[in-house]
Amino acid sequence: MDLTQLLAQYPHEENRLIDLLLDIQKQKNNHFISEQEIQMVAKHIGVSEAKVCSVISFYTLLSFHPRGRYVIQICRDIPCHINHSASIVGTLEQLLGIQMGQTTQNGLFSLEYSSCLGHCDAPPSMRIDGRTYVHLTPDKVKAIISEYRGRTP
């Protein structure tokens, strides 16, 4: 669906801004919102571009920059932190050959931090492509990544 069609499905209401932005990202394999899209969204909703930028900058789900096909978000809040999320980060960086905040050369994975994913009872946790994984260990992470690598994107 192109952007004009997508916009037509949304009312000109500020309270639908986040839904709309998420929807735009979902349509794209590289999960980001371009400047042109921001301009069109701002016009459609009737807010300034600065407002749209502010919302995108606030939520880790939304991005200004192109990301990988699979965005891996690791919780950086305290329960995960004290349950060794750092070792999960280390394992992922090593497996994928990239640092946090980067995207693999083949455009398949991006690594980022997220605020709390709501699984403080089962830390450490991460989310890939909308699915959450909990009670992570380095071995578990390895298995999850090979499973994603095996998928045909």
Binding site for another protein (CB under 8 A): 35, 38-39, 47-54, 57-58, 64
Alpha-carbon distance of 126 to 119, in angstroms, equals: 9
Alpha-carbon distance of 53 to 142, in angstroms, equals: 35
| Dihedral (CA of 33, 39, 43, 47) sign | positive
Helix (H), strand (E) counts: the chain: 7, 4
Report the alpha-carbon angle 115-139-130, nearest 5.
Answer: 35
State the minimum distance, in angstroms, from the CB of residue 33 to another protein.
Answer: 11
Alpha-carbon distance of 148 to 9, in angstroms, equals: 32
State the minimum distance, in angstroms, from the CB of residue 151 to another protein.
Answer: 32
What is the CA 85 to chain-centroid distance, rounded? 18
For residue 117 the two structure tokens come to 């994913």
State the minimum distance, in angstroms, from the CB of residue 116 to another protein.
Answer: 13
State the minimum distance, in angstroms, from the CB of residue 17 to another protein.
Answer: 13
State the minimum distance, in angstroms, from the CB of residue 26 to another protein.
Answer: 22
Report the alpha-carbon angle 27-117-61, nearest 5.
Answer: 30
Closer to another protein by Cβ: residue 38 or 136: 38
Closer to another protein by Cβ: residue 1 or 78: 78
